[in-house]
Amino acid sequence: MPEKRIGHIIKINGNMVVAQIDSLIIQNEVAYIIHGAGRLKAEVIRVRMNNAEMQVYENTSGLKVGEEVEFTGELLSVELGPGLLGQIFDGLQNPLPLLAKKCGFFLKRGIYIDALRNEDEWDFSPLVKPGDKVLAGVKLGFVPEKIFKHYIMAPFNLKGSLEVLSVARAGKYNFKQAIAQLKDSSGKIHEVFLKQSWPVKIPISAYTEKLKPSEPLVTKMRLIDSLFPVACGGTYCIPGPFGAGKTVLQQLTSRHAEVDIVIIAACGERAGEVVETLKTFPDIIDPKTNKPLVDRTVIICNTSSMPVAARESSVYTAVTIAEYYRQMGLSVLLLADSTSRWAQAMREMSGRLEEIPGEEAFPAYLESRIASFYERAGVVRLHDGATGSVTIGGAISPAGGNFEEPVTQATLKVVGAFHGLSRERSDARRYPAIDPLLSWSKYKGFINEKQAEAGHYILHRSNEVFQMMKVIGEEGTSLKDYIDYLKGEFFDSVYLQQNAFDAVDEATSSERQAYVFNFIYNILELDFNLEDKEKALHFFQQLGQLMRTWNSYRFRTEEFKRLEEEIALLLEEKKVRGKVNA
C-alpha cells in the first residue's frame, strides 16, 4: 500500500472538489479533506494530470481553496464480520444509533464511527487445524451471531492455496486478536481476524462457480409467486409512479420472503419510511425463527436529505454485505429502494464533472453501472460444496411514471423479472398494483406451468373483452365473451389482489398458493349454466365474495374446509355437465 499523500484543494463545485497533488493518484481511492478539526471523506472519481477530482460524501460548505487533502491509497471499503445483523448503517457504514448517541438529533459532518465495535467479544470455534490447505473464502471457524453460525473465512483477497500455520483455540476473542495465521505460496504470512474489509465496488468472488438460478424464492405475494416468480439468486425490478405502492410492496417482501437474511438499502427515499421499518421490525416476530425480524435484517439507509454521494455508495455497501453472508452459504435478499435515486446521484456527479450527457442528462455509463450492479446477484457454489445466493430486487421511480425513461429501460435489459406497477391499478385500489398485463418473469415458479399459462391467458382475454366492451357497450358483447371478462376479473380480485391489512391474507405460503391456484384453475376451465349477463355477474360476485372470505381463513382449518365445500356446492349447481358449450 502506498503511504499517505497530501494534496491541496484548487476547485469546489457542489460536492465535487478538485485537489492538486504532486505524487501518484489512485483511481477510486479514499481521501480525507482536512477542514478545521474535521475530516471529510471523499473518493477520487477522475484523474487529470495531477488533479484528483473527488466526490465528497459530506456537505462541502465552508471548504476553502488550499485546504489539505489526505489521500489514503485505499478503495472505499466496508467492514465485514459478526455484529452486522440488526444494525442500521448510513451509506458509508456508520452505525446511526451510535451516531445519534454521540451527536444528537443531527448528522454532523465528518464524524465516522467503526461499523463493528472493537470491544465486542465473540465465541469462536475453529473448523481447521494447522497444516490444512485453504483457499480464500474457506471457513476457518465460526462464531454465533443471532440465530446463525457466522463463519469466519480466509480473507477474500488472498490468492492461491494457503497453509494454516496456526488457529486459535475455542474461546472468546475480539476484533483485535488474530484467530489464525495463513502462509501463502511465496511464504508470506497473513494474520486472520474476526473481521475483514472489502472494497465495495468490487464483487466478492471467492467461490467455485456461479450457477443458474433455478429455485423459486417465495415472497408469499400470490401475484409474484404464481405468475411472475423470482428465483433465489435472480434479479427483479419494480418500477412504478409515486403512490403506486412500491415501498409497501418492498416492506411486505422484507417481512415475508423465505430467505435467511434481508438487506434493506433505503437509497434516497423518505426518512419516514425507514423510521417505520426501524421502529416496527424489532417487534415483529418472524414465524419461521420465532425471533424478531430485526435479527435477520441489515438496514443501510441514506435518505433523500442525506449527502448525495453517499447515496451512490449505499447500494454498493448493501450488496457487499449481502455477498459476505452469501459466502456463508445463506440465501440473502437485497431490496434497494430506489435505484432511480442512485442513478440520479450518478447524474448529479456526472454533471459536475462536465461529462457529455446521454439521454435525460444521465451519464453514458448508466447502463453498464446498472448492469454490473445487478450482475452481483446470483447463486454460487462455495468451496465446501454448499450454495449461497444473493437475490436483488430494485424499486425504480421513473419520472412521470413513464417506463420509457433510461433507468427503467437499462434495468429491464439485465433483470430476470419485471413487476411493473400501474397508476390505473393503484387508483382502482387493486393491491399489489403490479400490472399483470405488463409484467414478465423469465424464472420458473412452483405453480404448474399449464395452470399458470391459463391464468395469464384469462387475464389477457378478459382485458380484450373489456376493451371491446368500451366501444360496443355491454349490449353488443356476447354472453360467452362476457363470462370470459368476468372470469378474468374474478381471478384478479380473489387471487391476484391481496389485503395487506389482513393477518392471514397478507402472506400466502407456497403450499396454499399451489392448492388455491389449482382450485381456481378448475373454475376457470369450467363452462357455466348462466342464462344472461345479469345472472352471470351476480354469480361471479357471489363466488368472489366467498373466495375473498376464504382468503382470510387460515389454511386447512375447519372453517377453511367448510367454506371450500360451500363454494364447491355453488359451482356444482351452475356448472354445465359434460363438455357441451351453449
Is 243 annotated in a binding site? The answer is yes
Is 245 annotated in a binding site? The answer is yes
What would you report as the CA-atom Rg of the chain, rounded to the nearest whole angstrom? Answer: 27
Identify residues 311-350 at the interface with other proteins (CB under 8 A).
341, 344, 347-348
Distance CA 79, CA 67 (A): 29
Is 401 annotated in a binding site? The answer is no
Is 160 annotated in a binding site? The answer is no
Distance CA 455, CA 469 (A): 21
Burial 209-234 (b: 16+ CB within 10 A, else e): eeeebebbbbbbbbbbbbbbbbbbbb
Decide if residue 404 touches other proteins (CB under 8 A). Answer: no
Please check whether residue 21 is in contact with residue 38, taking contact to mean a CB–CB distance below 8 angstroms: no
Nearer to other proteins, 191 or 276 (CB): 276
Strands 122-126 and 88-89, bridge-based pairing? unpaired
Q: Which stretch binds other proteins (CB under 8 A): 185-193, 208-216, 354-362, 413-421?
A: 354-362
Identify residues 273-302 at the interface with other proteins (CB under 8 A).
274-276, 278-279, 301
Identify residues 236-255 at the interface with other proteins (CB under 8 A).
241-243
- Out of 55, 60, 93, 422, the only residue in the binding site for other proteins (CB under 8 A) is 60
Looking at the DSSP bridge assignments, the partners of residue 77 are 199
Minimum CB distance to other proteins, residue 98 (Å): 9
Is 535 annotated in a binding site? The answer is no
Identify residues 257-276 at the interface with other proteins (CB under 8 A).
268, 270-272, 274-276
Is 175 annotated in a binding site? The answer is no
Residue 181, C-alpha cell as written in the block: 495465521
Distance CA 232, CA 443 (A): 10
In the 8-state DSSP scheme, what is residue 329?
T
Minimum CB distance to other proteins, residue 412 (Å): 20
Is 86 annotated in a binding site? The answer is no
Please check whether residue 245 is in contact with residue 419, taking contact to mean a CB–CB distance below 8 angstroms: no
- Residue listed under C-alpha cell 424478531: 292
Nearest to 128 by CA among 139, 120, 116: 139
422, burial (CB in 10 Å: exposed 0-12, middle 13-18, buried 19+)? buried
CA atoms within 13 A on the CB side of 509: 9
Please check whether residue 194 is in contact with residue 175, taking contact to mean a CB–CB distance below 8 angstroms: yes
Please check whether residue 294 is in contact with residue 177, taking contact to mean a CB–CB distance below 8 angstroms: no
Nearest to 410 by CA among 466, 457, 359: 359
Decide if residue 364 touches other proteins (CB under 8 A). Answer: no
Minimum CB distance to other proteins, residue 49 (Å): 14
Decide if residue 107 touches other proteins (CB under 8 A). Answer: yes
Per-residue interface string for the shown chain with other proteins, residues 12-51, x marking contact by CB under 8 A:
xxx-------------------------------------
Decide if residue 565 touches other proteins (CB under 8 A). Answer: no
Identify residues 474-533 at the interface with other proteins (CB under 8 A).
none
Distance CA 178, CA 192 (A): 5
Nearer to other proteins, 388 or 406 (CB): 406
Identify residues 133-162 at the interface with other proteins (CB under 8 A).
none
Minimum CB distance to other proteins, residue 474 (Å): 11
Decide if residue 118 touches other proteins (CB under 8 A). Answer: no
Nearest to 440 by CA among 424, 460, 423, 426: 460
Is 557 annotated in a binding site? The answer is no
- Residue listed under C-alpha cell 411486505: 252
- Out of 100, 170, 285, 568, the only residue in the binding site for other proteins (CB under 8 A) is 100
- Residue listed under C-alpha cell 404448474: 448
Q: Which stretch binds other proteins (CB under 8 A): 91-99, 146-154, 170-178, 433-441?
A: 91-99
Per-residue interface string for the shown chain with other proteins, residues 197-236, x marking contact by CB under 8 A:
----------------------------------------
Backbone φ and ψ for 93, nearest 5 degrees, come out as 70, 30
Nearer to other proteins, 61 or 186 (CB): 61
Binding-site sequence positions for ATP: 240-247
Binding-site sequence positions: 240-247
| Interacting residues toward other proteins by CB under 8 A | 10-14, 59-66, 88, 96-97, 99-100, 103-109, 241-243, 268, 270-272, 274-276, 278-279, 301, 303-306, 308, 341, 344, 347-348, 351, 354, 357, 360-362, 397, 399-402, 427
